[in-house]
Amino acid sequence: MKRNLCFFLLISAVFLYVSCPQNEAELFQITPAVGHEFGFFGGYVTIKNPPGNTKLYYTVSGGDPVANGILNEEKPIRITRDTTIKVVTKINDMVDSHVIDLPYAVFSNKLTDFALSMRIGWNLGKTMSELEDTSNAEIQTMLSGVKNYGFNLARIPLTWNDVDGEAEGLNKAFNIAQSVVSRTSTRIFIMITFTLDQASFNGYDDNQIISRFNSAWTKIAAKFNTINLTDEQNGFIVFEAFSELDRNDPVIPEQQGIMNQLNQNFVNTVRQSAGKNKTRFLVLPVTNFSLISGFVLPNDNLQAVAPSDDQNKLLVSVRFFEPQGFTTLGTQNKWGSKAVSAADNESYIKDQFDLLRNKFTEQNIPVILSEYGAVHQIGFEDYRRYYMEYVTKYAVDSGLIPVYWDNGDFHDNTAEEGDNSAYKFGLLNRATGAPDNSVPAHKHNEVFTAIMQAVDGDYHINDISPP
């Protein structure tokens, strides 16, 4: 039965004062403020329990907290959309209060909704020229499997050799994108990116790099202007200016300068091609974390070519492979503060992604984590799982769209602990798109499950248990 009802007075944005005729005053601390608007990526609400024997129950889906409430354990409550948390207090299982509504909002516009619909992505990891012996049908089957296993974006890299001359690599990427996007059953986002690889650009000065870069995007944009898709379907194809810039210039201002110039030239070139590209979403890379402060979002004269579309269509991307000994080279076989005394453990991940959050996502500029991952090291699979879940979870919580780097390189079934693990990023079976399970002990499926759990789960980063 319900006890005498209390009345509730919001005395500040942070505290909820509960005044009951027969009870002493109780104070609920709620963080952040009731009515707070989160960025597009959402956030967490924490409710501190009242003192004494009073228990607090809540719902986040509009349900009745009296009948279906979750016992508050003062753990962060995940908010991903406009939500009203409903709370009620009980003493000895008897209702002690009115149902209290705690509304929270999440920022939303066309750009942020578009970014969140990508959800999580997967890198094809090889250029089109490297896949010349793989038929388009085989790649389409693989990408269909990738979709079925929860990935909603595939990133396809092109090199200068792919777009030069007969442009066989460009033609292959074009045909795959058109086929995948045209059918509902296989449709995922396709991100076309251009690789400023050392093989094509080694020894070139900045002016030569820029000239070849402009030429490449002129060709790519012109090709995709001929694509036979509806406007809705065409919206699933995204361009990224470049995937990496192999340039060992130690002078940071000069690195920032060429990064910003390439990004601006990219936007200009694509928009000037008009046609199918005049309103395409474009992705601008930050070449490394040390350049974030000097990154300048390009000017996009979208109104000049598409005056009916008044939404910003620029996103940002960044690659992340830290620490390299663990993620890439396989020279460090454990990761995490409980296993390794190093500066690049969990707190380092948070610090790096917080830079992106402060610069971009809290300004409601979406960021794509365009490449990230960890190599498979025999005997240390649980550390790989932990790293991938932790990094993916904090990325998603920070408003990043994670895109796993998969180069298709695996250990075979004869591999032993201590074998060279450098660049063994393989995760999905290239024939089916499913997590590779050819050697169950390698635990690729467990790594995949941890990644997807991090993307979809409402739990907090602190709930992830290290090995």
pLDDT score at 266: 98
pLDDT score at 154: 97
Domains annotated on the chain, with CATH: 26-106 (2.60.40), 110-463 (3.20.20.80)
pLDDT score at 51: 80
pLDDT score at 129: 75
Q: How far apart are CA 136 and CA 154, in angstroms?
A: 15
pLDDT score at 351: 96
pLDDT score at 318: 96
CA 338 and chain centroid, separation = 26
Please give the radius of gyration of the chain, using alpha carbons only, rounded to the nearest integer. 25
pLDDT score at 210: 92
pLDDT score at 305: 72
Q: How far apart are CA 70 and CA 458, in angstroms?
A: 14
pLDDT score at 287: 87
pLDDT in tens, 397-434: 999 999 999 999 999 988 888 889 999 999 999 999 99
Q: What are the residue ranges in the chain where pLDDT is below 50?
A: 1-26
pLDDT score at 131: 84
**CB of 388 within 8 A of CB of 106?**
no
pLDDT score at 4: 37
Question: H/E element holding 467?
Answer: none
pLDDT score at 382: 97
pLDDT score at 229: 96
